[in-house]
C-alpha cells in the first residue's frame, strides 16, 4: 500500500521583477493602443478672447492663394505636410517668435479623414475644424498656442457663413485640454480610437457618445457626400 502523501502546497506564481509589468504594458501599447478622445466645439457667436502671450508673437496667415515664400519659414520636416492641407483649401497661421517658426494651426472647411488618427470630422457648410495645433517645445508654455487659437476664433467669429468650429484632443492631453477649455471650447462628443504601431489610427466602431455628432457616420447635420471611415 502506498504511503499517504502530504497534501501539496500550491506553488506561488513566480513574482514579476519590479517594473516588468509596466514594461510589458509599454510594449503592448507600442503595438496597439486605445485612446480616449474628446471632440470640442466653439460657438462662433461668442466674442473671441484677447490673447496675452509672454513673448512677442508674429502671425503669418497662409492659404492656397499665398505665394510659396512662407514655406521657407517652416522646419524642413513640416513642409511635406503642407500640400495636402492646401489641396483642400485649408488656411493656416504660423506663429513666429524672433522671426523663427514657433508653432502653427490649420482650419479646414471640408470633411476629410485625418491620416494619422483616422478620425473623420464631418462638417456641414456652416462648420469648420481646427487641426494640427503645434507649438515648438522650447516655446511652451508662453502663450503661443493661445495667440494662434484666438486668431482662429477671430476668423470664425467674423465669418457670417460659419456657426462653429470643432477640434479634437486626447482626453489625457492635459496641456491641450486646459488650453481649449480656457478658450471656451465645450464638449460635444467623446470617441475612442485605436492606433496600431503608434500609427494607423481608426475610430473604434460604436464608441461615439452621444451617438450623433461630428464624429458619427451621419455627422451632426447628416452631411451628404462625406467620405467613409
Ligand atoms: C498643447 C500646446 C499646443 C500648448 O501650447 P502652448 O503654447 O504651450 O500653450 P499656451 O502657452 O498658449 O497656454 C495657453 C493655456 O493653456 C494651458 N496650458 C498650456 N500648457 C500648460 C501647462 N504645461 N501647464 C498648465 N497649463 C497649461 C493654460 O491654461 C494656458 O493659459 P495661461 O498661459 O493663461 O496659464 C503644446 O503643448 C503642444 O504643441 N503640444 C503638442 C501637440 C498637441 O498636443 N497639440 C494639441 C492637439 S489638440
pLDDT in tens, the chain (229 residues): 444 455 566 566 566 667 888 888 777 777 799 999 999 999 999 999 898 999 999 999 999 999 989 999 999 999 999 999 999 999 999 999 999 999 999 999 999 999 999 999 999 999 999 999 999 999 999 999 999 999 999 999 999 999 999 999 999 999 999 999 999 999 999 999 999 877 789 999 999 999 999 999 887 765 444 444 3
Of all protein residues, whose CA lies closest to atom 17 belonging to ligand 1? 179
Q: What is the pLDDT of residue 90?
A: 98
Best residue for ligand 1 mutational test, from 141, 178, 181, 183 (most atoms within 8 Å of Cβ): 141
Our mutation pick for probing the ligand 1 site, out of 114, 143, 145, counting the most ligand atoms within 8 A of Cβ, is 145
Sign of CA dihedral 99, 105, 109, 110: positive
Q: Which residues contact 13 (CB under 8 A, 6 or more apart)?
A: none
Contact (CB, 8 A) for 143 and 54? yes
Look up residue 72 and give its three cell numbers.
Answer: 521657407
Residue 134 within a domain: yes
CATH number of residue 142's parent domain: 3.40.630.30
Please check whether residue 17 lies inside any domain of the structure: no
Which pLDDT belongs to residue 34?
Answer: 95
CB 183 within 8 A of CB 150: yes
- The pTM is what? 0.86
Task: Give the chain's domain count.
Answer: 1
Residue 13 covered by a domain: no
pLDDT of residue 160: 97
- In ligand 1, the atom with minimum distance to the C-alpha of 167 is 48
pLDDT confidence of residue 2: 45
Domain that holds residue 182: 31-221
Q: Is residue 180 included in any domain, yes or no? A: yes
Considering the domain boundaries, does residue 15 fall inside one? no
* Within-domain flag for 8: no
User: 59 lies in a domain?
Assistant: yes
pLDDT at position 31, please? 79
11 assigned to some structural domain: no
Amino acid at each position: 500500500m502506498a504511503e499517504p502523501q502530504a497534501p501539496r502546497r500550491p506553488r506561488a506564481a513566480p513574482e514579476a521583477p519590479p517594473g516588468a509589468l509596466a514594461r510589458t504594458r509599454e510594449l503592448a501599447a507600442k503595438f496597439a493602443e486605445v485612446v480616449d478622445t474628446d471632440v470640442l466645439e466653439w460657438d462662433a457667436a461668442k466674442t473671441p478672447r484677447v490673447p496675452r502671450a509672454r513673448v512677442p508673437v508674429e502671425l503669418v496667415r497662409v492659404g492656397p492663394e499665398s505665394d510659396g515664400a512662407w514655406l521657407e519659414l517652416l522646419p524642413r520636416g513640416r513642409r511635406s505636410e503642407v500640400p495636402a492641407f492646401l489641396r483642400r483649401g485649408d488656411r493656416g497661421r504660423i506663429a513666429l517668435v524672433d522671426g523663427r517658426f514657433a508653432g502653427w494651426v490649420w482650419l479646414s472647411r471640408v470633411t476629410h479623414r485625418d491620416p494619422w488618427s483616422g478620425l473623420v470630422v464631418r462638417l456641414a457648410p456652416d462648420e469648420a475644424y481646427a487641426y494640427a495645433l503645434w507649438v515648438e517645445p522650447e516655446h511652451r508654455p508662453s502663450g503661443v498656442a493661445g495667440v494662434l487659437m484666438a486668431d482662429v476664433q477671430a476668423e470664425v467669429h467674423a465669418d457670417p457663413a460659419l456657426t462653429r468650429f470643432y477640434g479634437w484632443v486626447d482626453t489625457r492631453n492635459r496641456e491641450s485640454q486646459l488650453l481649449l477649455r480656457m478658450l471656451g471650447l465645450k464638449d460635444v462628443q467623446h470617441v475612442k480610437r485605436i492606433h496600431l504601431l503608434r500609427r494607423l489610427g481608426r475610430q473604434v466602431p460604436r464608441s461615439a457618445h452621444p451617438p450623433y455628432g461630428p464624429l458619427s457616420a451621419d455627422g451632426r447635420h447628416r452631411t451628404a457626400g462625406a467620405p467613409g471611415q
